[in-house]
Amino acid sequence: MKITFMGAGSTVFARNLIGDAMCSETLRDTVFALYDIDGERLEQSRTILEAMRVAKGGFGKIECYLGVENRKEALRGADFVINAIQVGLYDPCTIIDFEVPKKYGLRQTIADTLGIGGIMRALRTIPVLSDFAHDMEEVCPDAWFLNYTNPMAMLSGYMQRYTGVKTVGLCHSVQSCSYDLLTQLGMEDKLDGRKEVIAGINHMAWLLEIRDKNGVDLYPEIKRRVPEKLADPEFKNKVRLDYIKNFGYYCTESSEHNAEYNMFYIKSKYPELIEKYNIPLDEYPRRCVNQIEGWKKEYAELLENGVKDHKRTGEYATYIMEAIVNNTPYQIGGNVLNTNGLISNLPREACVEVPCLVNGMGINPCSVGALPVQCAAMNMTNINVQLLTIEAAVTGKKEHIYQAAMLDPHTGSELDIDTIKKMVDDLIEAHGDYLPKYH
């Protein structure tokens, strides 16, 4: 068996997912093909993973493929392809995504999923995924493409609609959703045996039902405890609890993410909302700087002291692989195309996040039916942007980039149309060769 990791220079993530595979009797005796365009980062991953492979018993084999010219060989014969690339990295592209909009008074927190930052990230990533897809269709046509790169719905949706590659988008926000909610509200006694239904779109999938082990609905007690947390000036997860207050349901991704997915919380005319909801503006750049510095220290320690033992994480990837290889059932929250109306009141061409059964037949999405109308409406404000961004990438038409930005909830609520167009033009110019040419 062969597992190819695209973007293996994402060293911590590569270590976690390949390390997970090394913990599995089904997957450990595998060819692990590491691909990246950065030689230094690729070598760091190779060094750590080779040491981990030896520590785990010496099973399998690690191969490295550097540069576009070796990409097809990295993919050749793969059974599974994990995607974790970041086109343009923190410097320069993430910096551009934050600093150019800031000149126009548009502030962001994460900028990797929606908003003008998410749009630009998708536009520079989709052309690379298109190249991946062409290679995969030729050299590993039966492989599953497990996408971890954001913006999840835009990238997975592009692959599912415009390529022949079997694609699922994976995000750990579904796994941690109800656990985080119950622990933050002091309801840890309800964790064991809880039952839940989660569906919507990536980073805004809704906790539609949550029941304890006896089938008792937990939402009434959750809603009773929300006002106290919203009134606590130190509590950080306020945006998502405000969703419960105003829309009736909790959602999967963090409050710092969801603060920028709508028109409600980051508003220049209401600066007091930033403090009221504890919204961390410019959060992602801070994380990037800290992660870069933290990794330098960790890598030096690993070289000096050796690789620490790896314990299998909760990430979906290797559990999916085991379920397919062994034909054993496993449930995930997966990002898949809404082709058959899995969520009946969202568009068929949308990429939705729904429960999926994984077994020897692959990844099998489950029908959810209709979302509560207010939840579907919130999702649609994001889906509009996602579909228009994909349209821009496929057609090469700049007008669709303008339209995606105009219809983005946060951008459109802060800036007028002429300013939005000027900002888009400035972003395109600043990204230079990281973007294709638009007409």
Q: Which residues are known to be catalytic?
A: 172
Phi and psi at residue 33, to the nearest 5°: -95, 115
Which string of b and e fits 148-183 if b means at least 16 CB within 10 Å? bbbbbbbbbbbbbbebebbbbbbbebbbebbebbbe
How far are the Cα atoms of 11, 15, 16, 78, 305 from residue 48, in angstroms, in the given order? Answer: 9, 7, 11, 22, 12
Contact 100, 426 (CB under 8 A): yes
If you ran DSSP here, which 8-state letter would residue 397 be given? -
Plot region of 327 (φ>0 → left; ψ -120 to 50 → alpha; else → beta) = left
Dihedral angle of Cα 200, 206, 212, 213, to the nearest 10 degrees? 20
Give the pair of three-digit tokens for residue 335: 């990002």
Which residue is listed with tokens 């927190």? 109
The reply to whether omega before 436 is within 30° of 0 (cis) is no
Query: Hey, CA dihedral for 196, 199, 201, 204, is it positive or negative?
Result: negative
Give the separation between CA 112 and CA 129, rounded to whole angstroms: 16
Query: Hey, CA dihedral for 267, 270, 276, 278, is it positive or negative?
Result: positive
Give the separation between CA 186 and CA 354, rounded to whole angstroms: 27
Give the pair of three-digit tokens for residue 416: 């007028």
Give the separation between CA 36 and CA 68, rounded to whole angstroms: 8
Contact 240, 182 (CB under 8 A): no
CA-nearest of 105, 425, 97 to 284 is 97
Which 3 state secondary structure label does DSSP give 198?
A: strand
